[in-house]
Amino acid sequence: MKVLVTGCAGFIGYHVVRRLLADGDAVVGLDHLGPYYDPALKRARVADLRRAGPLEFHVGDLADFERLRALAADVDVVLHLAAQPGVRHALLDPFSYERSNLLGMLHVLEVVRRRIPPPRLVWASSSSVYGGNARTPFAEADRVDDPLSLYAATKRAGELLAHSYRHLFGLETLGLRFFTVYGPWGRPDMAYWRFTEALFDDRPLEIYGDAAASRDMTYIDDVVDGVVAAVRRSVPDELLNLGNAEPIPLDRLVQTIERAVGRVARRIAAPPQPGDVATTFADLARAEAALGYRPRVRLEEGIARFVDWYRWWRSVR
Ligand SMILES: NC(=O)c1ccc[n+]([C@@H]2O[C@H](COP(=O)([O-])OP(=O)(O)OC[C@H]3O[C@@H](n4cnc5c(N)ncnc54)[C@H](O)[C@@H]3O)[C@@H](O)[C@H]2O)c1
């Protein structure tokens, strides 16, 4: 199988491409190596992928439509993971979300529908689309019209764009709603990385808002299982949750990291951040039925693996 992976230098893209290369699939990768977080980490991921197999990697932007079209010319599946992530960054740079998440998504859809026959499209949505929903666990059939951040609004917009293209052109699209993915080679802007870094640096941890706030945290290998199943399998679904179905309170996350690092944190209470939600919690019935998705890695194990990797990364970066 030949797969175009956008965002292949990113955290999730890196891990999925590693698995695809190991399985013998042909991979064309695209990433603009943007500066949202340290591009050296993105380059290190690409270097590691090149050691793993014959990756065809291109530095380029989703905004370059003709380039994207050329890269998708003969692939079986487009796996679209590139996006501007982050809830808080949108307050500083809203237009990066317009370019990567709105224009980028439309470009991907147009590239797919202009191919005859169109390749399948699997792409990254987000649990953030559930926004302020009170009923848990979050199920795909729930109404999602209360996004609490610009990031969430652009991901929901992507779902609606894909929906209209399915209706207009009969495309086969599958949006995966990821729930707080963590693990080795992760993202430095996410809480589990920032807490670990602060502990290593012997700095206090800033705890924003309520320490009882919780996130359904999903270990990267479980997410890769779900994404690769979605790449290989044609399913009738339009949207599927990929989570862990166990919301982890912030307090428990901090304690788990403390145990893995072997230090106790000093904590500073900070005000809640605009755009944050109280909880996320995935209903996984549909993903299990469609993809055989069943997460396996528990938080303690996943965080221990991350901390081991992070120790190594600090020693080589
Ligand atoms: N990690 C999570 O917890 C999580 C949760 C929900 C959804 N997601 C979504 O999953 C996808 C992957 O997330 P990630 O955690 O790997 O993030 P990431 O930032 O590590 O990876 C995204 C990659 O896309 C690239 N990119 C961004 N805009 C681009 C553009 N215009 N052109 C080309 N490349 C571009 C970036 O350089 C980056 O390498 C994203 O769509 C994200 O919104 C992630």
Q: How far is CA 54 from CA 11, 33, 98, 244, 284, in A?
A: 19, 19, 33, 32, 34
CATH number of the domain that 31 lies in?
3.40.50.720
Identity of residue 42: K
Q: Find the 93 Cα to ligand 1 centroid distance in Å.
A: 16
What range does the domain containing 92 cover?
2-187+218-243+282-296
Residue 170 lies in a domain: yes
Give the integer Cα–Cα distance in Å for 87 and 83: 12
Contact 216, 178 (CB under 8 A): no
Minimal-distance CA residue to ligand 1 atom 31: 100
Q: Which residues are catalytic?
A: 151
Q: Give the confidence band of 107 by pLDDT, cuts at 50, 70, 90.
A: very high
Q: Give the confidence band of 275 by pLDDT, cuts at 50, 70, 90.
A: confident
191, pLDDT greater than 90: yes
Q: Give the confidence band of 274 by pLDDT, cuts at 50, 70, 90.
A: confident
Residue 239 lies in a domain: yes
Is the CB–ligand 1 distance for residue 226 below 6 Å? no
Give the integer Cα–Cα distance in Å for 187 and 42: 10
Residue 308 lies in a domain: no
Q: Which residues are paired to 176 by β-bridges? A: 124, 240
Write the pLDDT tens digit of every residue in 159-176: 999 999 999 999 999 999
Give the integer Cα–Cα distance in Å for 56 and 226: 23
Side-chain-side CA neighbours of residue 178 (13 Å): 24
For the chain, what is the domain count?
1
The percentage of the chain sitting over the pLDDT mark of 90, rounded to a whole number, equals 95
Structure tokens belonging to residue 91: 């307050």
The percentage of the chain sitting over the pLDDT mark of 70, rounded to a whole number, equals 100
Beta strands at 247-249 and 214-216: parallel, antiparallel or unpaired: antiparallel
Give the integer Cα–Cα distance in Å for 21 and 4: 12
Contact 221, 297 (CB under 8 A): yes
Is the CB–ligand 1 distance for residue 185 below 6 Å? no
Residue 267 lies in a domain: no
Write the pLDDT tens digit of every residue in 216-237: 999 999 999 999 999 999 999 9
Q: What is the pLDDT of residue 124?
A: 99
